[in-house]
Structure 1
């Protein structure tokens, strides 16, 4: 019986009549063929499917699964089996299917253009689907969770970037948000127009926080921001760039001095806080420059110009604060030179502290009636390596504005207390006091009383031998820290003296509210004794009122015998000045004291 030969099959007929849905795609997953079952099942015609992407037949979730699972397996292993999907029909309803696929990489026998185009094809078989496995559901859930997390991350990054652009308390622009908008303003302003940059800082704003609480302070800041925001409607930029500092920027002509004064008036209008009308003032600095000077071809030139304007306005604002507050100051080169010189001087002060260039000199104070030595006033001197000896007037103001005065003050107290201990070391000698000047900035330091108390405790000096000389400015401060320091120091036995009395704003009414032991008449009035009737009357009044309030009265800058005689007649208690002695270096103290 002859062996039967191979049976010839019509493979195209078998493909078209297959029991399951079959799709053939090229290497880019574009459908190149579909069988009849697939067409009947999905409702598409052959022409509607061929040439379209297989992805088109998958819902979004299944597209994720296909890309994340099926495609990598086909590339790595050449086949996929037992995977569950949904296929979308022409009516866009989902049909659950079971998917298997194989990559076919061999070259077809038919050498035709059409056959050559399907080399490297993939055959997909779709049959009715079972439920997805737990692993597949987990993968889809994980991918969806990752997408959701990524979307939340992008949203959070956007919110964070936006929050950095705006101040959370006032909703004004922050410094970060101001600069790019200012650069954009500079780049779009008409050549020849001015850019006016205003920096303002509220005066003594810390007093509001300390006396009424931070909530009241925040309410004040929001009120000021709201007023400045009304200016933004006119095309201005408004920003809160610091705790109580704001910047307003505008372009065009007609903005300058009058605009600065308008803002000061706007800020100073009463603010209602907890049934109180609070009036705050501001110090304002402004800088204006023609935009044409900033124009260039590169954005970097705009940025440099914008930053320069803000810096110059801020410099002028601090100059306004230093010259009395509640006023404006225009930036000029003189202001800039002053600021640069101040920065340079601060560096030299720090270097002077580090290299022991500071020292104390001591001017004797004597009892008027007996001529006996009462004590000394410690006066700071700076042995500058280039400029020689510099007195306090040459550096104290700068040190006070920067806070370095606290370091200088701590050093001066340590030196003066140590010197006073040695001056009182001789047995049987009458007590010798030591007076040390304290600035308003030092008095505001919450650690001042504790620091002086520790120095006195370590040295063993009787606190009654130490006198703190406070200016009238320090006396009338509203700072709770200053009040606390005065009360603590007085309770420890340290004597308190009002220095340069009569030149400030305290007046006699303030004396009864503070634990003051000594009144020191300003030397400018002493110089006019016997020459100016007004000066003579002021000195007499200071002595009478001081005695009436139980205070010791000191007169400084005594230079003539006539002045001494008049002060003796008026009943002044203690005097000091060149008539008796210039300030003495420490090595000259003992010899002067023994000859006095």
Structure 2
């Protein structure tokens, strides 16, 4: 019984997952006549019972019998061997695909493929099956070459895929209109010629040898191939070649069906590029860097060589993004990539990569000595220190670089990246715009930092934090008018941990917020107690980290409410901040400072003179006190620059209506010089070290509070 040419193609879906079957049924009906089986055994039973699908869509991973075994049995059975089998699988391995095609499957489709692509490929295969059957039926009825070509012409005219017929001598005998549209070649250009006139030159002899071996062995070849149009343009096509044999079993015709997949290949190439390269700078990304670093390390291990890894982080890049915008920040990163590549362009073995953000790396294999690596690091630093032209503006950044070496410092990729990162942070701590080579002490320091970070999270609840108070003495009266609350951490294992060590850790890990709340609560309660005992003019100052003001910090509303609950006037509390906070352009920071000022809380600018010391800050923000840093006081003599600068600071502050506090006063001479220039307050070991709460309260009670001046 002959099948009608316009009937729906029958597809048998074999998949043990009903959810997958349901999705396929919804997508394929009503375009196809769809049946399904939920196991290999059930599929074989249906076929044995007389089911006649045109295509079998076969899952690979099934519990009772996998798809490969089902395919093997189908191809071993004369009744089913010619039914095209298409594997549909969640696996995406080249080996599995090769194995499945070797078993006789006609295609291998990943379940992750868009359904539109799955349907298109099924449609192509179904159309090919129907066209092949029509062609074979017509060829069987008409033996003459003229009639064969007439039938082929009717089939070709109805196809949207390019088709050509090649005789046993490998000469083209007919092409369809779609062939002409896709290639630009007309029948007069190709009939009687070898199909190799279409070759693009991309494929070597081995490719075509394998194709002919498959055609000779099975009569069929399927795959992707690059050919060339008449205008010289290369294009990719998905090609299927089937062989028609005569009654003697010899080749009569070969039928080639192809579709243009150039856009698909371009999309795949883009996906592959994006998986390995950074889209902005077009440098290798973290994934490709790891692969190349592993290869370089393996080669160095084999050749007893070494590999250096440079980890580059830009300094002050955030300021560029914040002031000029992310678009200009991206433009700067592109220029950075160009400059770094220019520094290493003489060597083809060096890899420059972008890890993400403003972080870059350079792999330097087969270097002769560390002086070579250090010269490269210095060249990169010098190059990146030059201004960047961003539109009509100039931007300035610098770079901190960490250096590590395989196998000296680490034996694997993760270890090298970790070590280089630690060395880079050491370069930042050393002042930025420089480089540091990794050493084991950095690893120990990082390990200790991690342990301290973990311990710090529990320090408040564990009762390990204490406040000590250092008196601030008024020079005019000799009385203790203020006290600075200084945080101390006594850990049961590490002992007393320096604030210089744990405060940066608290800022990085976020613990600074709960610690800051604890310091405020403790200091505010102590201030309330001392006010009731020693008068209303006593003030406690607390140090506040910029992180507490920045994004994600506190709104401080609860602090001000707590002052009211304790019956404290805002003037009983002072906040000590640094110029780093004032440099931030975030309006929210200015609003929070204004919120404190409105409540009467005073503001002291700490470490004045060691940073930018910009008068613009004093003009823009309402500051009550300037604190002269101890480095000025330490070097103070009557003729020293420190003395002259301190005198200028006091004079300027008084003209602006500000008071001045000198830190680190340890000698009578320093005291006398501060008194001479009119400094308002001092604190330091000359009067007292920071004291625990009880000891400090005892100091306030003592008669020494009445006259502490030397």
Q: In 2 relative to 1, CA 211–269 (structure 1 residues): closer, same or farther, beyond 3 Å?
A: same
- Preserved CA contact (<8 Å) 1:200 1:282: yes
> What residue in structure 2 maps to residue 393 of structure 1?
500
Partner of 1:243: 357
Q: Which of 181, 185, 189 lines up with 2:292 in the alignment?
A: 181
The structure 2 residue matched to 1:516, chosen from 607, 623, 631, is 623
**Cross-structure match for 2:280:** 169
The alpha-carbon deviation at position 492 of structure 1 amounts to 4.8
Per the TM alignment, residue 155 of structure 1 is displaced from its structure 2 partner at its CA by 9.0
Q: Deviations over 1:360-382 (max 9, x none)?
A: 11222232222344222110001
> Residue 280 of structure 2 aligns to a residue in which SS?
coil
Alignment partner, residue 587 of structure 1: 694
Question: Which of residues 118, 122, 126 in structure 2 aligns to 1:61?
Answer: 126
Q: Which residue of 2 aligns with 1:196?
A: 308
Shift of 1:327: 0.9
Q: Does 1:452 align with 2:549?
A: no
Distance 1:481 1:207 in 2: 17
For the 8 Å contact 1:413–1:452, the answer to whether it is kept is no
User: What aligned pairs does 1:122-161 form with structure 2 within 5 A after superposition?
Assistant: 160=271
**C-alpha separation in 2, matches of 1:486 and 1:159:** 50
Aligned pair in 2 of structure 1 residues 331, 578: CA closer, same or farther (>3 Å)?
Answer: closer
Q: Secondary structure at the match of 2:555?
A: helix
The 5-angstrom pairing of residues 366-515 of structure 1 reads 366-425=473-532, 429-443=535-549, 445-448=550-553, 450-460=554-564, 461-476=568-583, 485-490=592-597, 492-506=599-613, 511-515=618-622
Q: What's the CA shift string for 1:87-106, capped at 9, x where partnerless? A: 3526363589xxxxxxxxxx
Is residue 225 of structure 1 aligned with residue 337 of structure 2? yes
Tell me the SS of whatever aligns to 2:275: helix
Q: What displacement does 1:447 show?
A: 5.0
Counterpart of 1:329 in structure 2 is 436
Q: Which deviations, in whole Å up to 9, do the C-alpha atoms of 1:335-364 show, x marking residues without a partner?
A: 333322322322232232442311211222
Aligned pair partner of 2:402 in 277, 285, 289: 285
Distance 1:62 1:273, change over 3 A: closer
Conserved 8 A contact 1:198-1:247: yes
Unaligned runs of 5+ in 2: 1-74, 82-103, 107-123, 140-144, 156-258, 706-710
Q: How far apart are 1:218 and its partner, in Å? A: 1.4
Greater shift, 197-206 or 231-240, is seen at 231-240
After TM superposition, give the deviation of residue 245 of structure 1 in Å.
0.7
Q: How does 1:9-28 map to 2 (within 5 A)?
A: 27-28=77-78
The two structures have a TM-score, normalised by structure 1, of 0.68
Separation (CA, whole Å) in 2 of partners of 1:511 and 1:205 = 26
CA distance in 2 between counterparts of 1:370 and 1:502 reads 26
SS in 2 for 1:216: helix
1:151–1:463 Cα change, 3 Å: farther
Shift in Å at residue 256 of structure 1? 0.3
User: Which residue of the partner structure matches residue 36 of structure 1?
Assistant: none
2:419 corresponds in structure 1 to 312
The match for 1:205 among 306, 311, 317 is: 317
Q: 1:483-517 deviations in whole A, cap 9, x for unaligned?
A: 55545544554322122333334266754444321
TM superposition shift of 1:290:
5.8
Query: Relative to structure 2, which stretch is displaced further, 320-329 or 458-467?
Result: 458-467
Shift of 1:409: 2.6
Determine the structure 1 residue equivalent to 2:236. Answer: none
Q: Which residue of 2 aligns with 1:275?
A: 392
Distance in 1 separating the partners of 2:490 and 2:310: 40
Go from structure 1 to structure 2 and tell me whether the alpha carbon gap of 1:160 and 1:359 turns closer, same or farther (over 3 Å shift): farther
Answer yes or no: is the 8 Å Cα contact 1:62–1:85 preserved in 2: no
Match of 2:347 in 1: 234
The answer to whether residue 468 in structure 2 is matched with residue 365 in structure 1 is: no
Q: Partners in 1 of 2:80 and 2:686 — Cα distance? A: 109
CA displacement, residues 154-194 of structure 1 (integer Å, 9 cap, x when unaligned): 99787545423222322222212221222223334572443
Q: Please point out which of 336, 350, 367 is paired with 1:253.
A: 367
Alpha carbons of structure 1 residues 579 and 26: separation in structure 2 relative to 1, 3 Å:
closer
In the alignment, the residues of structure 1 paired with residue 374 and residue 695 of structure 2 have an alpha-carbon distance, to the nearest angstrom, of 56
- Give, in angstroms, the shift of residue 416 of structure 1: 2.0
Deviation at 1:482, TM superposition (A): 5.0
**Which secondary structure does the structure 1 equivalent of 2:357 belong to?**
coil
CA RMSD of aligned residues (A): 3.9
Counterpart Cα distance in 2 of 1:593 and 1:447: 38
Q: How much does 1:552 deviate?
A: 0.7
Q: Is the 8 A contact 1:476 1:506 kept in 2?
A: no
Q: Deviations over 1:18-75 (max 9, x none)?
A: xxxxxxx9952699xxxxxxxxxxxxxxxxxxxxx9x9xxx953664699xxxxxxxx
Q: Which residue of 1 aligns with 2:221?
A: none
State the alpha-carbon separation in 2 of the partners of residues 341 and 26 from structure 1: 67
Q: Aligned equivalents of 1:250 and 1:351: distance in 2?
A: 43
**CA spacing shift, 1:424–1:158, aligned 2, 3 Å:** farther
Deviations 1:413-464 (A, max 9, x none): 23223332333346x9323212111344445x2355x533331123314333
The match for 2:662 among 549, 552, 555 is: 555
Q: Distance in 2 between matches of 1:181 and 1:489?
A: 54
Mapped partners of 1:61, 1:308: distance in 2 = 53
Distance 1:327 1:491, change over 3 A: farther
Structure 1 residues 191 and 488, CA, compared in 2 at 3 Å: closer, same or farther? Answer: farther
Note the residue ranges of structure 1 that are not aligned, 5 or more in a row: 1-24, 32-52, 68-82, 97-147, 295-303
Contact 2:563 2:569 in 1 (8 A): no
1:252 Cα deviation after fit: 2.3
How many positions carry a matched residue from both structures?
467
Deviation at 1:199, TM superposition (A): 0.7
Larger Rg: 1
Question: Which residue in 2 is equivalent to 1:121?
Answer: none
State the distance in 2 between where 1:387 and 1:248 align. Answer: 38
User: Is 2:327 the counterpart of 1:215?
Assistant: yes
Q: CA deviation at 1:204?
A: 1.6
Task: Name which of structure 1's ranges 324-333 and 583-592 shifts more when overlaid on structure 2.
Answer: 583-592
